Amino acid sequence: MAKSHVVLLAYHYTILFAVSRSSIKFLPGFEGPLPFELETGYVGVGEFDDAQLFYYFVKSQTNPKEDPLMIWLTGGPVCSSASALFYEIGPLTFRVEEYNGSLPTLVSTSYSWTKAASIIFVDSPVGSGFSYARKPSSSRAGDTIQVHQVDQFLRKWLMDHPEFLSNPFYVGGDSYSGIIVPALVHHIHIGNENGVTPPINLQGYVLGNPATDENSDTNSRIPFAHGMGLISDELYKSVSGLNTLHILLPDCGSDSTRQHIIKFSGGRILGETLNPTLSLPWFGCYLYKFLLSSFWANDENVRRALHVRKASIGLWSRCNTDKVPYSKDIPSSFQYHAINSAKGFRSLIYSGDHDYVVPFLGTQAWIRALNYSIINDWRPWLIDNQIAGYTRTYANKMTFATIKGGAHTADYKPKESSVLFERWIRGELL
């Protein structure tokens, strides 16, 4: 049942805003009622609420009254939070099977982070997912704009959900969100100090394979590729850089699968461009699974079930990186890590040790540059007596961990990622 609320909020100026939200019991493509509590809605941000941010909210499946609350920002930039919800850390995912024109099937996962926390998956910035602008002047997107708008989103959302005001609050994200999340943590803290209401019970942040500083991130790719045996000693000594973001992708498709995709998308993948010259080893199963979300989210029955506003957006795309003008005006988030460390916020920084996009070598370099002493030195962390990765903790309450065999996002090693998060968020030793 959808409902609207009008709440008076003392922000930098007093404004009226409407938060619309709906409780979702059933979703097309999933058999039976959902085994968790799902809410979707919009929160208006910016001047006159002209930017409408869409969100999915999943309550903790353990103890929502006491478990932490986290907001999750997908990277890109300008990628939908549906990526995290359905592919990385959420309680549902798509069954990967050959597309035949019918609605893709959703199934439950056993690795959802919502077993330990309530999570708000927000489509930010404007232009990502189902978020939209009411007028062109409100469609601007960028690092600093996103930080301010997500802060507004959070305070308005909490005013409308006062039962979560006392829950420990964390900010989470991966990939490009490594630029946004530390700055957002700082901005929330400053707002709290200045008496902005409602106060947010901010405790820390979580980042996976985070973009941090372009020089540190990109300069680590060649040493990483060499250390992984992907390039020869001779090439390592002579090459100055590579443009390749993905070196290998598995082939899990078939020519018939590819033809099905072309047939049912009119030659263009909904939300994912299909270049007919791409070979299946490149297209592969990793990219193929993303197509399913595009077919699903562009179905009218799905949009009605999610209470997406009619005519608010056209074709839904998982990522609109090439379609939405975006200003990258925070060149490095290192300074915000330093500030947040000085303020005593907890942080978990994790890296898939097979990620070439943001190699763990670069992440370790900027962590060392914070110059905090080591509390617990390098050691393996285990699942079922098997090494799942390696970890180290620092005096600034920062934990760094690798995920053995993991890559750029949590979906490569979902079980390990889930266990890592659950132990850390509950204050347990990895």
Which sequence positions are flagged as catalytic? Answer: 175, 355, 408
Phi, psi for residue 284 in degrees, rounded to 5: 50, 180
- Find tokens 């390098």 and name the residue: 378
The span from the CA of 288 to the CA of 318, in Å, is 12
Phi, psi for residue 63 in degrees, rounded to 5: -145, 80
With contact defined as beta carbons under 8 Å apart, do 220 and 365 qualify?
yes
Residues in the chain: 430
Q: How far is CA 311 from CA 43, 45, 130, 321, 420, in A?
A: 17, 19, 11, 21, 41
Residues 6+ positions from 137 with CB-CB distance below 8 Å: 50
How many CB atoms are closer than 10 A to CB 136? 8
Residues 6+ positions from 56 with CB-CB distance below 8 Å: 38, 39, 40, 81, 82, 85, 120, 121
The span from the CA of 292 to the CA of 411, in Å, is 15
With contact defined as beta carbons under 8 Å apart, do 103 and 264 qualify?
no
Q: Which two tokens stand for residue 329?
A: 């005006």
With contact defined as beta carbons under 8 Å apart, do 129 and 81 qualify?
yes
Q: Which two tokens stand for residue 372?
A: 């905090």
Helices 360-369, 334-342: inter-axial angle, 10-degree rounding:
50
The span from the CA of 319 to the CA of 297, in Å, is 13
